[in-house]
């Protein structure tokens, strides 16, 4: 295993390597969560964070990766990065600072 890989438990309990992304203050794994619940959970998590902190959200392909980044941007947060992450996508979001 190289320095950019970490092991996480898969849905079946087996360990699977996943690339490690840039640091975030909080990470939220929403694989398997359908729209609009993945956006609602992202929004609620952002509301608990301090202004300027970063949240990494793991999302499935399809509607989640299209809708969640757009919706958090519409709410005034900054999408810093979207990247392929194993079988999903990792979105790095900075919480808006004007709260």
Residues 61, 65: Cα–Cα separation, whole Å: 6
Given 20, 21, 26, 35, the catalytic residue: 35
Cβ density class 14-37: b for 16+ within 10 Å, e for less: eeeebeebeebeeebebbebebee
- Tokens of residue 43, six digits: 């929004």
Q: Is 35 in contact with 67 (CB distance < 8 Å)? A: yes
Catalytic (active site) residue 87: no
Catalytically active residues are 35
């Amino acid at each position: 295993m190289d320095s950019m890989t970490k092991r996480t438990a898969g849905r079946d309990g087996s360990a699977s390597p996943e690339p490690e992304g840039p640091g975030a203050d909080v990470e939220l794994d929403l694989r398997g969560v359908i729209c609009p619940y993945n956006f609602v959970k992202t929004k609620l998590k952002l509301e608990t964070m301090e202004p300027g902190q970063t949240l990494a959200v793991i999302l499935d392909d399809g509607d989640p990766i299209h809708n969640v980044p757009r919706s958090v941007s519409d709410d005034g947060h900054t999408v810093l990065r979207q990247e392929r992450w194993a079988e999903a996508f990792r979105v790095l979001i900075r919480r808006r600072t004007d709260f």
